[in-house]
Each structure stands twice: as structure tokens, then as C-alpha cells.
Amino acid sequence: MRVAFLMAPEGVEQVELTEPWQAVADAGGTPELISTRSGHVQAFKHLDKADTFPVDRTVADSSIEDFDGLVLPGGVANPDVLRRDARAVAFVKEFIGAGKPVAAICHAPWTLVEADVLRGRTLTSWPSLRTDITNAGGTWVDEEVHVCDAAPATLVTSRKPADLKAFCSAFLKEFGG
């Protein structure tokens, strides 16, 4: 199981990267950090800088064919930057279009809103995204984790870092790990 973790060069919530990453590795999978620029990603613990992580590939050098699933970690700044990057948005849209599962936590569904892939889907997120999701044609629910298996691809979503255990368990099941 090869899993792409897509994030901006700065602004990802560290625990929303590290815990799912470790869950993939513990399940025998291969996680890869994909970003819009090469180098390193600067993670945050809420609003404070945390660790940096090396980028494995850029979006421009990546193909969805290389992966079994996509994880979109949150953090407020991370998805806000990603949704303004045409290649990142297209990468997400291609995963959904190809029927490959996507997992998103906290503010990460902003990138899904921008990719215009939420019509007729039910998902959860950080509560402040409710209106954005609804305006994008989705149905928002307040649940620890929600799995929407509407065609063409399964979408696994969670609200916040406190939901990470349920989030990781659910997306690993959907990703085949």
C-alpha cells in the first residue's frame, strides 16, 4: 500500500501528518510526502512552528498511478495554500476521478471544496468548514469519522486531532491496509 500525503510547503498541523504517516508505516505501507515545492515542509503545532519534514516528490513529479490512496492533513494554512495551487487541486481531483480513496482531516476538506468533488457526498471536518462544504454541494455531519462511499471514490473524513485514532483506522481499512 503506497499512500500520498499532500501538503503545502508550510502550515500543516504536525500531528495530522505524523500520526497517519505512522499508521501507514505500521500497517506495512509506504507513505510519501508530496508537496508543491521540493525541499522540506514546515509543520506547526497549532500556531507555533514545529518540525520540518523532507519532501519525497513534488506534485509536478507525481502520478496518482503510483499510489493506492491520498491523505490530506489539515492545519488552517496548509489547505488554504493547496486550494490556490492548480496542480495540487488537479492532483486531488484525479484521485477522486480515478476511484481511489481520499482521507482528509480538520481543515483539509477546503482542498476538496476547491476540487469541486463534494456534490452529493457526506463528510465531516473542523466545524467552521460547514458552510463551505454545504455551499460546495456536500452534506456536513458532526462525527468523529465519516466514511462516504459514494461513487466514484471513497472519502474518509474527521474533525480534529482528537479524532486521529478513528481516522487512521477508517482510512487504513479503505486503503486496503
Tell me the catalytic residues.
106-107
> What residues contact residue 88 under an 8 Å CB cut-off, 6+ apart?
6, 8, 36, 59, 82, 111
Backbone dihedral angles phi then psi of residue 103, each to the nearest 5 degrees = -120, 135
